[in-house]
Amino acid sequence: MTQTTWMDATAQAELVRTGQASPAELVDDAIERIERVNPQLHAVLRDRFDAARADARGELPAGPFRGVPMLLKDLGCHVAGDETNYGTSFLRDAGYRWPTDSYLARQFRAAGFVHLGRTNVPEFGTTITTEPVANPPARNPWNPEHSTGGSSGGSAAAVAAGLVPVAHAGDGGGSIRIPASECGVVGLKPTRARVSHGPDVGESWAGATIDGAITRTVRDAAAVLDAISTPMPGDPYVAPPFARPLADEVGAPVGRLRVGLLEATPGERYLDHPDCGAAVAAAGRLLEQIGCTVETGMPDGMFDEGFSRFFAATIAADTALTLSLLERSVLGREVADEELEPRNARYRAVGRTMTAADYLGARAYLGGWVRRMAAFWAPQELGGQGFDLLVTPTVATPPPELGWFGAAGPEEEGRRIGSFMPYTAQFNVTGQPAISLPLHWTEEGLPVGVQLVAAFGREDVLVRVAAALEEAAPWADRRPAVHA
């Protein structure tokens, strides 16, 4: 059989369609890679290898990725009869198995994917490094002493190291894009409500969270989103439909787009590494080469202090609610503060004391702030600035060493988390699609991503541009220090 380690999911699916490989062969190869490499990375927490082998040898759905192996993040995407522990010790120790499939799990299965296990996450996904107290830290394949990012850090490390071509990911403040940047892979955050949270959840984090995938290629990012973006009955709202499949946008003409390059420093409370600025400048030159009009610019409100404060309030309220629901419906007891990492104990404490007026006030502030931000992409005849894309660094520095966020204690941890992510959470709250592309590496060999942000509902623009940048500055041949 053809060597599949560095083939993307689209190519592996083509092997199955043409009879050059069987689903069982693809799954067996991926299991061998995980068993051999994962002990160095701790990207995969729990496997279901026997069940996956049985799935691959059974009747798989005839979806576009029939027989392709993948991994699911240990946060959301529940599968009936399987554990999903949210990076916590108390769910892990309870051994709770979820009673029903999420809609997303059904859609991954209908697409033909075979899931091999669960990937490492921080507790409740509320930080941007995958170093949970309950599990070993996920290690970056480019340098195992460095962070993978979070919260989809295990997924990003697994894809970057060649264990699987695709892994499920989710993004509430950057949790697809940040790990993609730190691990040198592709991370597409879809438009709000593009992927259903149902049936258990309507919206979370005030609509800021969204599921998607980590991939190595833009064509996989597009085709996977095509496969999982079906609106489901009862969803509180849905994203605008695509004019045609996203996969058809790969290789389509980019056109004369107007691109705003963010060159302003984010302010004293944020980090500002020169490699991140260099990555954006180089991306700007590439965009000019493919025919875009590039100029400096950024949305009004991009670095407003009020944004961070009120977004954190919605996270606190959601954390308190989530823990309350788990206590009542899963554990049958209260979770003690000592069972939570300090960050999440603080979120719960704040959420418990928040009044309804406090919460609605935070939502109201963010609603007004979103309208200011959206003007950057709005047509000039509607009073907007008329940009098609914004380009920023994905994060403020290259991947930090493991332990850096929490090294100076809980209070400093919060400041360090905030200082590291000036560019991503804004677009969870606005609901806009954004993608991180691996366009830059430091002299030390660490990846630095570049983020592209399009108007609400315009993943088509992102995919066309991202595919053109992938062709202009290909990354497929780069290999991390630890790989299959």
Residue 413 backbone dihedrals phi, psi, to 5 degrees? -55, -45
Cα three-residue angle 290-295-297, rounded to 5 degrees: 130
Catalytic-labelled residue, pool 102, 147, 151, 196: 151
Interhelix angle 342-353/410-420, nearest 10 degrees: 90
Hey, which residues does 211 pair with through a beta bridge?
170
Name the amino acid, one letter, at 452. L
175 tagged catalytic: yes
Q: Single out the catalytic residue among 147, 152, 155, 175.
A: 175
Q: Assess contact for 14 and 54: CB atoms under 8 A.
A: no
Do the beta carbons of residue 177 and residue 451 sit within 8 Å?
A: yes
Phi-psi category of residue 357: left, alpha or beta, with phi > 0 → left and psi -120 to 50 → alpha: alpha
Of 73, 147, 155, 436, the catalytic one is 73
The four Cα atoms 354, 357, 360, 362 give a dihedral, to 10 degrees, of -60
Element (H, E) at 44: strand 44-47
67: left (phi over 0), alpha (psi -120 to 50) or beta: left
Residue ranges with strand state E in 69-225: 69-73, 114-119, 166-171, 186-189, 210-215
Among residues 473, 422, 426, 411, the alpha carbon closest in space to that of 447 is found at 473
151 is catalytic: yes
Q: Is position 73 annotated as part of the catalytic site?
A: yes
Among 112, 374, 116, 124, residue whose Cα is nearest residue 226: 112
Active-site residue list: 73, 151, 175
